[in-house]
Structure 1
Amino acid sequence: MIEISQLNQRYGGTQILWDLDLKVEEGSCTCIMGRNGVGKTTLLKCIMGLLPADSGEIRIAGDNLVGRSAEFRPHHGIGYVPQGRDIFPLLTVEENLRVGLPCRKDKLKKIPDRVYDLFPVLKDMLHRRGGDLSGGQQQQLAIGRALVIEPRVLILDEPNEGIQPNIVKQIGDVITQLNREENMTVILVEQKLGFARRVGQQFRLMEKGRVVASDAMEHLSESLIMQHLAV
């Protein structure tokens, strides 16, 4: 479903991605892993059109997204949860969720009940400002906002960063449900090995702006961990 080939990206005169190749199967949950600074977030931002690619292709269902605006992605069925959440702190929970509605092809004007089914706390806090929520609640809001468009692909950048353990478990349960029960394709940048092994079906290890290892999650060996993940 997702095929990236020969992707190069430079930022501030420094090349971050080097001829990167990556394939993600439809309906899979793929964890992109690697040490800090190897280009994981840059890769996601290129997929989302938030950073320009210098060369290469990013194809989703055959369509090349390189050169298309970031606004095209949600209309194409791609939901994104950025690192740090990036909710609107002065808007209410409801207003944050409504941001995604104009991107729906069916022009639905109502927030789907599915979002509240997955994250009941959001319904209880509809009229609270996003900035008044806890970190874990803000993360649920960010994921809920991405799900408003009912995406076929969900991309999350370290969704558990700074989140309390009970919310981490809930987020893991939601990812698993969306992926395994609803066949949503998930791409997840994740530093926590235990979480990645719990929810991920596939792994892609990055080193110096390239994908250097790809396999099923059960084949993530201790030698690969020591070589590419240990600090």
Structure 2
Amino acid sequence: MLDIKNINQYYGQSHILWDLSLNLKQGTCGCLIGRNGVGKTTLLKCITGLLPIRDGAITLNGYDINKLSTENRARGGIGFVPQGREIFPLLTVEENLKISLGARKDKARFIPGLIYELFPVLKEMKHRRGGDLSGGQQQQLAIGRALVLDPKLLILDEPTEGIQPNVVRDIGEVIRKLNRELGLTVLLVEQKLPFARRVADDFFIMEKGSVVATGPIANLNDDLVQRYLSV
């Protein structure tokens, strides 16, 4: 599904990603974990085209996407929920969702019913401005907006950050449903290990700009947590 081979990325003269490789299988949920500053968000931005890579290859379903713009990667099936959500606070919930319709391949003009099925609160509040929603509701809106694209790969950057526990639970259930019932491939960055263990199939640990350990989430043992994740 998503195959990343030996990519390197720089901020100015700073080498951020070092020969990083990662393979996310079709229909799975992978969790990217690591201490702050190891390059997790940078990697997501490289996948989505928000940052260029110096060399290496990123392929989606066998197609090289390195030269595609962010917009064309979205049209090609990548939905992205950035850290901080980045919704449009002055637009209504419905208007925020409709923004993604322009990137759908089928040129659909209406918000898919699935969005409101997954997040009933968005239907209840569709005429309210995005900035008036709580943090948890804004996160649901951001995920909904990405899903309007009808993506094949959903990427989420710390979807539980700063969100109340009941909404974290709801978001976890949505991710599980999308992945395990609807077959959507998911890649997320997540700091909360209990959440990661609940929703993910596989883990990818990053350290100093590289993936240093990977495997089934059941193999994320105390030794790995102590070595790479403890602060």
- What band does the TM-score fall into relative to the shorter chain? over 0.9
TM-score when scaled to structure 1?
Answer: 0.99
- In the TM superposition, what whole-angstrom CA distance separates every residue of 1:154-183 from its partner, at most 9, and x where no partner exists? 000000000000000000000000000011
Give distance in 2, aligned partners of 1:74 and 1:227: 36
Instruction: Tell me the equivalent position of 1:65.
Output: 65
1:205-216 aligned at under 5 Å gives the runs 205-216=205-216
Instruction: Tell me the equivalent position of 2:10.
Output: 10
Alignment-mate amino acid for residue 42 of structure 1: T
**Secondary structure of the residue that 2:126 maps to in structure 1?**
coil
List alignment gaps of at least 5 residues for structure 2: none
Percentage of matched positions with identical amino acids: 61
Instruction: Tell me the equivalent position of 1:34.
Output: 34
**Secondary structure of the residue that 1:99 maps to in structure 2?**
helix
Give distance in 2, aligned partners of 1:22 and 1:153: 15
1:105-124 aligned at under 5 Å gives the runs 105-124=105-124
Shift of 1:103: 1.1
Instruction: Tell me the equivalent position of 1:154.
Output: 154
Shift of 1:207: 0.2
Alignment-mate amino acid for residue 185 of structure 1: T
Q: CA RMSD in A?
A: 0.6
Give distance in 1, aligned partners of 2:67 and 2:107: 26
1:1-231 aligned at under 5 Å gives the runs 1-231=1-231
Runs of 4+ in 1 over 3 A off after TM superposition: none
- In the TM superposition, what whole-angstrom CA distance separates every residue of 1:62-97 from its partner, at most 9, and x where no partner exists? 111112111111110111100000000111101100
Give distance in 2, aligned partners of 1:59 and 1:120: 35
Q: Across the two proteins, how many residue pairs are aligned to each other?
A: 231
- In the TM superposition, what whole-angstrom CA distance separates every residue of 1:16-36 from its partner, at most 9, and x where no partner exists? 100000000000000000000
Give distance in 2, aligned partners of 1:159 and 1:35: 16
Shift of 1:13: 2.1
List alignment gaps of at least 5 residues for structure 1: none
